[in-house]
Amino acid sequence: MDEIQKKEQASSTHKIGIYLWIWGLLFVLSFFSYLVDWFQFQGLLRHSLILIFMFLKAGLIMAFFMHLYWERYALVNILLWPMTAIVGFIVLMAAEAKYTVFTRLLYFFIGG
């Protein structure tokens, strides 16, 4: 057990600097995503900026605060591959939502 703990410690106690760096980056990124709203960007620009900052933040939290960057690939892959199901669900539901709103507008309001 000692060995394991030592190993664990080796992978879990990192220099305090890295945590402070990530922390700072998270604040900056949050501030940027707030600015997206402040400047009232619209359309594609707004959405892509929101997504970029979101994924950067999420990635930093997962990789460094949750130590995923230092975990072995077996665990990382087990955790990330199921997300494909979510991605598929999102894509299909987006298509479904578009279809729903299309039929609603067509048959309830616009006609023709």
In the numeric block, which tokens belong to residue 41? 């960007």
Q: Establish if 109 lies at the interface with another protein (CB under 8 A).
A: yes
Q: Which of 9, 42, 43, 44 binds another protein (CB under 8 A)?
A: 9
Q: How far is the CB of 29 from another protein (least distance, A)?
A: 9
Residues 59-78 that bind another protein (CB under 8 A): 61-62, 64-67, 71-75, 77-78
Q: How far is the CB of 41 from another protein (least distance, A)?
A: 10
Provide DSSP, 44-93. HHHHHHHHHHHHHHHHHIIIIIT-GGGS-HHHHHHHHTTHHHHHHHHHHH
